[in-house]
Structure 1
Amino acid sequence: MGATYFFGVPFMYWDFGTLAFLLRDQAGLDIQPGEIPEVTAPARFIFVPERAGEFVELQQRYPGGRLQELRAADQHLLALIYDW
């Protein structure tokens, strides 16, 4: 997998304590609200629920990827993960 683009700002950041520890070997970039980065495949995009509304625009720019919904035990959305 290539770089990870994290749509979490301003709610969560890629270098946040737990994420930084769990994903310490994975390159990642924080993406600002309203920004769609120019990327080359392969790429992974992760959206926190508060920014899930931006996913449609990203998917239009990078179609054909695989979407996973990460959900808690009570089924509330934790993250969208899109591998392209």
Structure 2
Amino acid sequence: PVYFSGLVTLSRTPDMVPWEGWAQALDGFSWTSIGARPSRYPEDLISLWRWSERLRELAPPLEAFKPSTLPLSALLDLIPQV
């Protein structure tokens, strides 16, 4: 998947790609906007702080790993002889 975040600039400039242009460029890809909302682009200031939250929501849950143990003899084998 493609996680897209359009640049939030708080102003529209003549050289700015409109949201529709980004959507057209990403057509054919499985894409999700994690940044500005299409209705607020490019003035969606809050999206500058919320993109990481959106990315975390899309990520699979993390597995908790059980701590392992290492016998002392194996640890000693790992330590270089000084």
For normalisation by structure 2, the TM-score amounts to 0.28
More strand by share: 1
TM-score between the two structures when normalised by the length of structure 1: 0.28
Structure with greater Cα Rg: 2
